[in-house]
Structure 1
Amino acid sequence: MPDSGILSAPLDAPAKSERRRRVRWVPPLLRRILAVNAVPLVLLLAALLYLDQYQNGLLQAEVSTLREQGRIYAGALGETAVREDEIDKPRLVPEMARPLLRRLTEPTPNAQAKVYAPDGMTVADSRVREGAGGAVVTEPLPPAVDRGPVLGTIGHIYDRLLSFLPHGNQIPMLDTGSTAAGADWQPDVREEVRLSGTNQSREMPPYIRRTQDNRLLVTVAEPVQRNRHTVGIILLTREAREVDDSLLAVRLSILGLFSLALVLTVMLSWYLSLTIARPILRLAGAAEQMREGRGRAGAVPPMLLERRDEIGELAGALSDSARALWARMDAIERFAADVAHEIKNPLSSIRSAIETLRRIEDPEKQRRLLAIIAEDVSRLDRLISDISDASRVDAELSRVATEPVDVAPILATLAEINETTRSEDAPHIDLSLGEGRLVVRAVEGRLVQVFRNLIGNALSFSPPRGRIGLSARDVGGMVEISVTDEGPGIPEAKLEHIFDRFYSERPQGESFGQHSGLGLSISRQIVEALKGRISAENRRDEHGQVVGASFTVRLPKAA
């Protein structure tokens, strides 16, 4: 289709309906980014929280088991190692408590039991034995398990991470950095005996601590009673190696899961780099080539245009914009060449007339040359006015918002004006308006300009007392406006070229230079900017003879 105005169609015209942005609740690109960033973090957080609950559960089970064992020991000591003095006051007998305590703790080599009197003095210790010659031998707890620097570092990192997470009903632990919280640590025995005596239903809290050599020790305290009298307290301490072993296994599993998540994150990030970052860089390079004038055709890689995501839409929009920009630049170049050519003709005529005027002395010839100069000046004035109007059309239509315009009163007013002002021999206008609403979205002033151009063109080609048809009707989702005349018609080879700039096909007898050849071109420019279409054809009778021309404008109906 030939160019329809100073500039080609608006930038978003090429394949605009195909490039409409589809509304999505979650676009594909956003889903990918959310998956890459959220899934590994959710997995890691869930694993850390699960580890916290798991550790708490193991410690609770360890405390429950140790407390039950301490109650058994306290009950055995209360029944066996207690004697009543002459005033019926029960007390612990160390000579009876020591061997009994050793026998009770023999099945548990990693545990230590201590029995204290109400005044805080040690009555018995399962780790203290009599050696040869009556010497006292203290057997330490088994040495701590050396897990190596790597596993130790892993445990330290997990402990640090867990310290930042919210904890539920977790068993409180003593300060691990305190030197007092070692293997020989003991609570305030006197206070525990006092509280146990005042409230026998009170359950003494457990004491959990990690020593300087990385041992996890659990201590429970149970009162030793006889006839509801507290005669002492037994402290049962055991190293919770099973808890550490279970936690280590879980931590190693979480480390493996984290490593897998990290690998997946790196792979998905690389995938996103290949599918998003690099294509965007390629589009930026294509835009740079277009800016430098080296990307006129094929600047956007075809593989990006074939994508069915946001990158593909961006590539398509960039390609369409580039084609539209180049089309506009070509249109501007052609228009500049056409303007130069059209202006040069009257200027050449004026220059020749002036040069001739200087050499002749005949007054009659001088008047004729001056008349020629005046006609060429008038022609230049009309040409520049039409060029200025054509230049403003595209910019104006791109800025001004369209609004619903009723076509019927506009056509009726134009027909009434023509009938009122026409001369006796001028053609008549027959107005025919169809049923329904004939409302389109347009700029009213420019739409009136189109109708005036078409009616003026029909008046200039119609014979005296001819008939001009002016009609409008509703055709589906379009409003169709037709202007017909009874003139000589349009040469078949010129049906499209009549809309070209500066094309002029004037009726016989009309003086040269009365029209600039931009009227129909401006009309097409306006109609296409309003998302419509204008066409021309010849009217024929039943014998196939041309009986006039018909111009048809189709515009979308207003919603």
Structure 2
Amino acid sequence: MRRILLLNTLPLAMLAVTLLFLNDFQNSLLETDVNALREQAHIYAAALGQSAVMRNPARHPLPGAEYMFDTALARPLLLRLTEPSPNARARLVGPDGTLVADSLNEASLAHHTGEKLPASFPDSDLPRQWEPPHNNSLEVAYEWLLSLLPLSSREGIVTLDTPDAPPPDPSAAGSTRGTEAAPYIRRTPDRQLVITVAEPVMHDGQTVGVIQLTRQAQEVDRSLFAVRSSILSLFLVAMAVTVLLSWYLSLTIARPLLRLAVASHDMRDVSGRADTVPENLLNRRDEIGVLARALRGSVLALWARMDATERFAADVSHEIKNPLSSIRSAIETLPRIENRVRQERLLSIINNDVKRLDRLISDISDASRIDAELSRARPEPVAVESLLAILTEMHQTTRKPDDAILKLVDESDDPAHPLRVLAVEDRLVQVLRNLIGNAISFSPSKGLIVLRCRANSEKVEVSVSDEGPGIPDGKLEDIFDRFYSERPNSENFGQHSGLGLAISRQIIEALHGNLYAENRHDDQGRVLGARFVILLPRAP
């Protein structure tokens, strides 16, 4: 749950923090305010340069100082000029850096110049600063975020990290018209944004002084607050939705996976075979349901394998015990028999039982190795037609006159592209030999055994048909059981262990195929013989 919540909320939080910077938007607003304030200062400078300037009364004025401000005219005029803009503070500075006029109250001017303003100078101050709504939590959060965001700017916007640092010297604005000092933008200790520009006051091409305008960028803060509030509101809504979705994912994914883990632990450690996979997870139609059903299937397959191993061990014990009992009985009887013929007969029985034990042990060993061997082996394309042709030729070359005849019938749809199957060649040869040998043992003298190979959808079908008596009714599946033996009467007892067909099916199923048996019938329903069919995946 914690990881899901972290992974879902972290990108959202990073996006929200990135959007809160709003550098381009803030800079465009600042540039607009700077341009408007500079234009206002330019108008003030032009008006003061025409109406509030007089000749310097000094007998020998310095070069470039023929004109000076008329204080009696400059102060009232500055007040009248700034009256339509009460949120701006104007200061008029002479060429020597002395303060000539200030739109603030008389006490502020006296503090800077040591002189007293006329009575007509109003007692004024900057307007009340804009503040965000007085919501404690919102204000605290906004102020905290604002303190983390640096005031960035474009070219031409000066940003100072120390809000109490003094602005550039207004007297250094230049001596030619059109020279502009860089704007001074700062935040006061109470986080208010303030813009200051300076404009030279010109008269007859000479710089008489500098006018400095200072104004709070209220609209910038207000616009930024509105946008950031919208972003934060959307972020909070998105965060709430994300938390709910994370909780939903936890309920529908994380917790079911934990329940499956607990069920797996219980099925492993709890005594008995308790199927503890919850039914509601098994009935789900999503990936969790697939996983639950796969877990249950794996456990059931494991239990089935354990049962098969137990049955196999019991069958092996039973099959080995029979010849051992026969050998023990013969050995116990042999010392008490004096007849030489009967002794040889008992020795022959012991010899046959020993051979039977040897065959049993060999087949049991082979059967026990098949699963492990096929789990390591990698199926490869095998040309099944060539394999059947080789087996057919070997049989026909070595057959005796009265033995069954082996015939290959190729029913492939494209002779130019032989049929290939995905298999382990050695084990596939073993299966075909078992089926052919089984067909030979049930075939009459000179009977015909037909091998067929043809494509069947995405599989290849290989069949072995004989002309024997067929398979008894109800025994089509029993013949694949371990140690099941249904042999011809002419065959001596104990020549087969009853594991051949069981091993063959085990091999084919390990290769993701299928092996089954059926009887062949004529039009009247009479049994013409048996057929064993192998289905294996077709190789590309």
TM-score, with structure 1 as normaliser: 0.84
Bigger drift between 233-242 and 115-124 goes to 233-242
- List per-residue Cα deviations over 1:83-111 (Å, max 9, x = no partner): 12477822212222112112222333332
Which residue among 8, 13, 16 is the counterpart of 1:44?
A: 16
Q: What amino acid maps onto 1:171 in structure 2?
A: I
Q: Is the 8 A contact 1:144 1:213 kept in 2?
A: no
Q: What amino acid maps onto 1:345 in structure 2?
A: N
1:171 paired to 2:157: yes
Matches within 5 A, 1:282-361: 282-292=259-269, 296=273, 298-361=275-338
RMSD: 3.0
Question: 1:536: which partner in 2?
Answer: 517
Matches within 5 A, 1:418-437: 418-435=395-412, 436=415, 437=418
CA distance in 1 between partners of 2:402 and 2:5 (Å): 76
CA distance in 1 between partners of 2:317 and 2:509 (Å): 26
Question: 1:516: which partner in 2?
Answer: 497
CA distance in 2 between partners of 1:549 and 1:256 (Å): 80
Q: Secondary structure at the match of 1:558?
A: coil
Question: 1:13: which partner in 2?
Answer: none
1:391 paired to 2:368: yes
CA distance in 1 between partners of 2:232 and 2:451 (Å): 83
Which residue among 484, 488, 494 is the counterpart of 1:503?
A: 484
Question: 1:157: which partner in 2?
Answer: 144
- Percent of pairs with identical residues: 56
**Cα 1:63–1:150, aligned 2, differ >3 Å: closer, same or farther?**
farther
CA distance in 2 between partners of 1:39 and 1:309 (Å): 27
Question: 1:381: which partner in 2?
Answer: 358
Q: Is the 8 A contact 1:286 1:295 kept in 2?
A: no
CA distance in 2 between partners of 1:105 and 1:76 (Å): 12
Quick one: higher RCO (CA 8 Å, sep 6+), 1 or 2? 1
Matches within 5 A, 1:79-478: 79-85=50-56, 89-129=66-106, 139-142=124-127, 144=129, 150-163=137-150, 171-176=157-162, 178-180=163-165, 185-192=166-173, 196-197=174-175, 199-292=176-269, 296=273, 298-435=275-412, 436=415, 437-478=418-459
Q: Is the 8 A contact 2:31 2:157 kept in 1?
A: yes
**Cα 1:477–1:110, aligned 2, differ >3 Å: closer, same or farther?**
closer
Bigger drift between 146-155 and 61-70 goes to 146-155
Cα deviation, residue 34, structure 1: 11
**Cα 1:471–1:248, aligned 2, differ >3 Å: closer, same or farther?**
closer
Question: 2:110: which partner in 1?
Answer: none
Question: 2:46: which partner in 1?
Answer: 75
Cα deviation, residue 539, structure 1: 2.8
Which residue among 476, 482, 486 is the counterpart of 2:463?
A: 482
- List per-residue Cα deviations over 1:458-485 (Å, max 9, x = no partner): 1111222322223323344433322222
CA distance in 1 between partners of 2:216 and 2:529 (Å): 111
CA distance in 2 between partners of 1:379 and 1:417 (Å): 27
Q: What amino acid maps onto 2:213 in structure 1?
A: L
CA distance in 2 between partners of 1:430 and 1:111 (Å): 112
Unaligned 5+ runs, structure 1: 1-31
CA distance in 2 between partners of 1:417 and 1:79 (Å): 125
CA distance in 2 between partners of 1:91 and 1:84 (Å): 6
CA distance in 1 between partners of 2:190 and 2:154 (Å): 27
Cα deviation, residue 394, structure 1: 1.9
Q: Is the 8 A contact 2:93 2:171 kept in 1?
A: no
Unaligned 5+ runs, structure 2: 107-114
TM-score, with structure 2 as normaliser: 0.87
CA distance in 2 between partners of 1:444 and 1:314 (Å): 34
- List per-residue Cα deviations over 1:283-313 (Å, max 9, x = no partner): 1112112212568464332333343443333
Cα deviation, residue 516, structure 1: 0.3
Question: 1:59: which partner in 2?
Answer: 30
CA distance in 2 between partners of 1:135 and 1:481 (Å): 119
Q: What amino acid maps onto 1:539 in structure 2?
A: R
- Aligned residue pairs: how many? 517
Q: Is the 8 A contact 1:52 1:162 kept in 2?
A: no
**Cα 1:68–1:453, aligned 2, differ >3 Å: closer, same or farther?**
same
Q: Is the 8 A contact 2:515 2:535 kept in 1?
A: yes
CA distance in 1 between partners of 2:442 and 2:225 (Å): 99
**Cα 1:478–1:212, aligned 2, differ >3 Å: closer, same or farther?**
closer
- List per-residue Cα deviations over 1:241-263 (Å, max 9, x = no partner): 34333433333333322221221
Q: Is the 8 A contact 2:82 2:103 kept in 1?
A: yes
Q: Is the 8 A contact 2:323 2:356 kept in 1?
A: yes
Q: Is the 8 A contact 2:42 2:199 kept in 1?
A: yes
Q: What amino acid maps onto 1:71 in structure 2?
A: H
